[in-house]
Amino acid sequence: MIQRDEIFLAVSGSARQASTNTALLNAIADAAPSGCRVEVYDRLAGLPVFCPDAEADPLPAPVADFVARVERCDGLIISSPEYVRALPGGLKNAIDWLVSRDEIVFKPVVLVHASHRGNDMLEQLRLVLSTVTRNFHPELFLRFDLMKRTPREIGEVLAEPEKRRAVEDFLQAFARFCKACRTEVSER
Ligand SMILES: Cc1cc2nc3c(=O)[nH]c(=O)nc-3n(C[C@H](O)[C@H](O)[C@H](O)COP(=O)(O)O)c2cc1C
């Protein structure tokens, strides 16, 4: 069988221009080893507030674009700040748009995190994600202390050989998980 790249959609829970979470995802995309491709999605601020009445066809254009990206990817990587001991409203809003749809049900999902803080948010996000997909992998998790650093500094930190190796190992492990999930679905 011809091997193809695993494509990961990396969703940032922060809408901030100089977001550490978005910068971490960009650095992960830059470090992707052969066989993996990472597309960063940092447009949660463009999604309208979720309303079940608006789930009819056609979806609002930014939602349709987001859903199509989720459908196309082999797995989702999410990185988010903590706001008021919870996950940011924008990220929860995006997940709400997916919740009654087929695209998310078997989608492999993992978390990365750009801070030494934010454990309440991580706990909540784990609960939410394990509710919306059967293939959330809580143990596959990568965390760096990058709070208050600039995107440029984050690029430099992640370029350090040890960190780059950690990112490569993480992406390769996620690629194996995504393949295993596909095999399981195809054997159903
Ligand atoms: C409105 C707001 C609320 C926050 N609440 C918390 C919090 O409850 N706990 C925490 O550890 N950090 C909190 N923070 C700090 C952010 O989680 C932290 O700065 C994070 O690294 C920002 O991510 P970003 O750089 O990707 O935007 C808060 C920040 C803002 C703006």
Average pLDDT, rounded, for the chain: 96
Q: Which atom of ligand 1 is nearest to 21's Cα?
A: 26
Query: How do residues 47-67 score in pLDDT, each as one tens digit?
Result: 999 999 999 999 999 999 999
Nearest-CA residue for ligand 1 atom 31 is: 83
Q: 6-186 falls under which CATH superfamily?
A: Flavodoxin domain (3.40.50.360)
Q: Give pLDDT tens digits for 25-39.
A: 999 999 999 999 999
Read off the pLDDT of each residue in 11-26 and give the average, rounded to a whole number: 98
- Atom 20, ligand 1: residue with shortest CA distance: 81
Q: What is the pLDDT of residues 122-158, one digit of tens each?
A: 999 999 999 999 999 999 999 999 999 999 999 999 9
Q: Could you give the C-alpha distances from 183 to 42, 103, 130, in angstroms and in order?
A: 30, 17, 20
Q: Ligand 1, closest atom to CA 15?
A: 27
Nearest-atom index, ligand 1, CA of 20? 25
Q: Hey, how many other C-beta atoms are within 10 angstroms of the C-beta on 59?
A: 17
Distances (CA, A) of 107 to 118, 177, 184: 24, 11, 12
Q: Which helix (H) or strand (E) holds 111?
A: strand 109-113
pLDDT digits (tens, 9 = 90+) for 82-127: 999 999 999 999 999 999 999 999 999 999 999 999 999 999 999 9
Provide the residue ranges of all domains of the chain, joining segments of one domain with +.
Answer: 6-186
Question: Is residue 1 scored above 70 in pLDDT?
Answer: no
Q: State how far the Cα of 120 lies from the Cα of 139, in Å rounded to an integer.
A: 17
Q: Are 103 and 35 in contact (CB under 8 A)?
A: no
Tell me which residue has its CA closest to atom 28 in ligand 1. 83
